[in-house]
Structure 1
């Protein structure tokens, strides 16, 4: 865990603030987080959710952390006019005030590269979102079956 994250958590505990967020990220709500089981650890996994900014200022997601994968990142799948799909990292994502960003199959999504353990149906894993203002937000992501199509499994 980064030193700034530990400092924020220690400060939050001392002053009685929630340890899951600080700064502008308290306006972000994570809805409908989910993922699919993996066959093993040799191929990347993915996670999906909706990020809603209930605040009056834009909030920028700049990084991800999870013990499940050594390289979690935000990727986007795009399909060209010929029907050919490609995927690439997006970098930071800014969520406008009062808006939401959907991370879903076939679009923006959390790519979980270099899995450390198999993603097992029925389990969950923590995913920490790091924001440009220093805030953090952690969600436990449920793992559904390998053929799941949404947060309901």
Structure 2
């Protein structure tokens, strides 16, 4: 029944409803997927979500792609001394067995670069996530204002 509901949500554009309960993909569940809005002609933005691993083996998010960006990467922000630094995760992001990882502002996140269009609130874009063990899945991500992330800053 859930697959039928997801199908209708994607066909008719109700992706927010589809993500309310999360998207189940093999041993993973993906929730709270959103993209930060941008001003006109802004070249970059971030993507955020929660990935839960219900399995007994770890998986690794090794890639991300989106047709609205010429380049997409998995990034980490962390303090080094008194300076906040951002860098791509060359070996991917480990999703621990029976654990979860939050990609959120100021921490792990998806980085979309060389944007082909402005990210406008409530627009929905398809983003493909690639995992080392589970393979690839394309999910809808809705554009929200930055303040949206404060609601899901688990």
With normalisation by structure 1, the TM-score equals 0.76
CA offset at residue 41 of structure 1? 3.5
Cα separation, partners in 2 of 1:81 and 1:41, compared to 1, 3 Å: same
CA offset at residue 150 of structure 1? 3.9
CA offset at residue 146 of structure 1? 4.7
Equivalent residue number for residue 13 of structure 1 = none
Is 1:127–1:141's contact at 8 Å kept on the other side of the alignment?
Answer: yes
More strand per residue: 2
Gaps of 5+ in 1: 1-24
What's the Cα RMSD here?
1.7
Alignment of 1:2-151 (within 5 A): 26-82=26-82, 84-91=83-90, 92-133=92-133, 135-150=135-150
Q: Deviations over 1:20-70 (max 9, x none)?
A: xxxxx6111111111221112432111101111111111111111111111
What is the number of equivalent residue pairs in this alignment?
127
CA offset at residue 134 of structure 1? 6.0
Cα separation, partners in 2 of 1:115 and 1:149, compared to 1, 3 Å: same
Is 1:35–1:144's contact at 8 Å kept on the other side of the alignment?
Answer: yes
How many angstroms apart in 2 are the aligned matches of 1:64 and 1:109? 11
- Secondary structure at the counterpart of residue 148 of structure 1: helix
CA offset at residue 81 of structure 1? 3.0
